[in-house]
Amino acid sequence: MSAPNSRQLVAGMVGGGPGADIGKTHRYAMRLDGHYDLRAGSFGRDRSNSRQVAVELGVAADRNYADVAEMAAAEAAREDGVDVVVIATPNDSHFQLAKAFLDKGISVVCEKPLTQDSATAAELVRVADQNHAILAVPHCYSAYAMVRQAARMVRKGELGAIRFVDVEHASGWAATPLEELGHKQAGWRTNPDIAGFPSVVGDLGTHAFHLLRYITGLEAERLSGRLQTFVPNRRVFDNATVELELTGNVPARLWASMAATGHNHGLRIRVYGEKGSLEWLHEDPHHLKVQDLAGATTILTHGLSTLHDDASRLTRVGLGHPEGFLEAFANFYSDLAESLRARRDSTPLPERDLSFPTGIDGLVGVQFVEAVAASHNDDSAWKVPAFALEKAVA
């Protein structure tokens, strides 16, 4: 573990070998604010590739592990062992890898979907709790300043009671059969054994669903889902539409797609309240559009002096200087760093109701995927997601 009261945390990574974009993205995000020092890792299954990455990253040879069990044991045993490990591997390995570290009391950042089913996701949450480790899930879109602004506006009642929500993460990245051309990421994301049949729901739908929950503070009480496969011969579903009923009978809709032809990224949310509405688009992330009852539109910008502190504190540069995806991802890591240091130093946790997503959010996401699949299999009949069921029982 890093030294008490020091600023930098010691981090490890599993995955993120050559060509694995998501691992690189985590590393950019960890570097930006200087909270983390990456000192250990197992960068992919190919031993020589892993070594090459370790060298490039300045990870010492004795902390470049061939095996995750070994890494967990060795790092737990070191005085200067890792505070946190990032799991940036395909979905099917998340459970086993995350559990290996959590079991040793090492905090974990695990990519979404957290695991392949809600039983294992729940177990990760339980193991993390038992071992006083932090389990964080990088739904990093919630770390954009303007998303935080939106969430605060809703909580302060600036839109009045919420009436309707429309969210979509509809990308066009796999609108053609990339998997037939050897595209690595398309390969595993369209392999039902790794990504599950409702692949797009786990991959993009969970981001959209988390964004909806994060901004509105509402939960899904029941839902009706439909899954489609747009690209011929594809082995998983690549498109999904979901109708939802949120807390208090608020209707909502969600669209997830990896085959929305022409779209670049496609994450967007619109929230309608009795006094106003707002819209946020990931492709223009430093603006937030607000409309009032009369129909006038106000565009708020990242860096405006009039924003709520939740947004202002996430601004690094001046008004009009766009910050993008990596900065949002770095915000996730900054919020996490606060908690990791508090845990390490036994100081009080920061009191923020708008902070990073945890294992619970990951679990709710997996339950969401399961409910959508169940509804689809029952011709879109309404289903109650497990988290809502449990609440109802409790």
Radius of gyration of the chain (CA): 21
Encoded tokens for 235: 């082995």
Q: Quick one: 77 or 181, whose CB is closer to a copy of itself? A: 181
Does position 323 bind a copy of itself by CB under 8 A?
A: yes
Binding mask 40-69 for a copy of itself (x = CB under 8 A): ----------------xxx-----------
Which 326-365 residues touch a copy of itself, going by CB under 8 A? 326-327
The region of 41-49, 63-71, 323-331, 360-368 touching a copy of itself under the rule CB under 8 A is 323-331
| Closer by beta carbon to a copy of itself, 56 or else 129 | 56
Residue 274 binds a copy of itself (CB under 8 A): yes
Nearer to a copy of itself, 72 or 259 (CB): 259
> Rounded to 5 degrees, what are φ and ψ at 223?
-155, 160
* Under rule CB under 8 A, residue 286 binds a copy of itself: yes
Segment 206-265, which members bind a copy of itself (CB under 8 A)?
Answer: 224, 226, 228, 230, 239, 241, 243, 251, 253, 255, 257, 259-265
* Residues in 145-204 that interact with a copy of itself by CB under 8 A: 159, 163-164, 166, 171-173, 175-176
Query: By CB under 8 A, is residue 31 in contact with a copy of itself?
Result: yes
Q: Spell out the alpha helix ranges (H) of 18-144.
A: 21-32, 47-57, 68-77, 94-103, 118-130
What are the tokens at 167? 């969210």
Name the packing angle between helices 94-103 and 68-77 (round to 10°). Answer: 20
Site for a copy of itself, residues 86 to 115, rule: CB under 8 A: none
> How many Å separate Cα 147 from the centre of its chain?
14
364 by Cβ neighbours in 10 Å (0-12 / 13-18 / 19+) ranks as buried
What are the two backbone dihedrals, phi and then psi, of residue 18, each rounded to the nearest 5 degrees? -60, 135
Pick the piece of the chain touching a copy of itself (CB under 8 A) from 101-109, 198-206, 347-355, 379-387.
379-387
Q: How far is the CB of 354 from a copy of itself (least distance, A)?
A: 21
Q: 245 with 251: CB under 8 angstroms?
A: yes
Do 211 and 205 contact (CB within 8 A), yes or no?
Answer: no
CA distance 237 to 246: 25
Of the residues 68, 215, 290, 340, which one makes contact with a copy of itself according to CB under 8 A: 290
Angle made by CA atoms 95, 360, 207, in degrees to the nearest 5: 85
Compare residues 320 and 350 and give the one whose CB is closer to a copy of itself. Answer: 320
Residue 276, token pair as written in the block = 């106003």
Among 48, 62, 233, 318, binds a copy of itself (CB under 8 A): 318
Of residues 106 and 140, the one with the C-beta less far from a copy of itself = 140
Q: How far is the CB of 305 from a copy of itself (least distance, A)?
A: 6
**Least spacing, CB of residue 390 vs a copy of itself, in Å:** 23
What does the DSSP assignment read for 140-168? GGGGSHHHHHHHHHHHTTTT-SEEEEEEE
Cβ proximity to a copy of itself, 92 vs 243, nearer residue: 243
Question: Which residues are CB-contacts of 320 (< 8 A; sequence separation ≥ 6)?
Answer: 301, 303
CA dist., res. 13 & res. 285, Å (int): 28
